[in-house]
Structure 1
Amino acid sequence: MSTGLIGYALYKLFDILIWVIVIRSFMTWIPNVMNSDIGSSIYNFLNSVTYPIEAPIRNVMYKYSSGPMDFSPMIAILVLMLLQRVALLIF
């Protein structure tokens, strides 16, 4: 297995995680989708994927600020984009 393939796979994995965070964030803005059975099961799945990524960021953020806006998805996306670049440089 070549290192280029590993780098490409990591790049795509980070890409998928970024899109999962974006989709889950948009779903919180649509209350009717959240109330349906299908919408809530999709949201629960997406939340189970993104929670381990966003929870540490949220914990650090709430130590220093407790505003009404949750910026952890945006910070998580920026961190994942940085990790994408690092994966491309390493592999």
Structure 2
Amino acid sequence: MSTIGLALYYLFDILSWIIIIKSLMSWFPNGMGSKLYYILNNITEPIEGPIRSIMYKYNSGPVDFSPMIAILVLMLLKRVALIVFY
């Protein structure tokens, strides 16, 4: 596997974990007000924002599924990176 493919693979993996950590932090009372949450939100908002805007056209419920869909998209992109760069 080439260096670019390996870097993309790990980048998508790290982004998935950042989304998971940010989502878990939103469950705690002081989690969303912390500086770490603000930093993680700045990293993940370009990924989750477009998904969230598309989803709110069809579902305006209290549960935000955009992190889960973003992780699925990142998993798909990770597979594509494996296929293209292997």
**2:32/2:38 contact within 8 Å kept:** no
Q: Distance in 1 between matches of 2:21 and 2:39?
A: 12
User: What fraction of aligned residue pairs are identical, expressed as a percent?
Assistant: 66
Q: Distance in 2 between matches of 1:86 and 1:27?
A: 30
Specify the alignment match of 1:7 in structure 2: 5
Are 2:56 and 1:58 aligned? Answer: no
Are 2:77 and 1:83 aligned? Answer: yes
After superposition, give the CA deviation of every residue in 1:9-48 in whole Å (9 maximum; x if it has no partner). 100000000000000000001113445xxxx110000000
Greater helix content: 1
Of structures 1 and 2, the larger Rg is shown by: 1
Specify the alignment match of 2:36 in structure 1: 42
Q: Structure 2: which 5+ runs fail to align?
A: none
**TM-score where L is the length of structure 1:** 0.89
Specify the alignment match of 1:21 in structure 2: 19
Instruction: Please state whether the residue corresponding to 1:31 is helix, strand or coil.
Output: coil
**Number of equivalent positions:** 85
Instruction: Please state whether the residue corresponding to 2:63 is helix, strand or coil.
Output: coil
RMSD between superposed Cα atoms in Å: 1.1
Structure 1 residue runs of 4 or more that deviate by more than 2 Å after TM superposition: 32-35
Q: Structure 1: which 5+ runs fail to align?
A: none
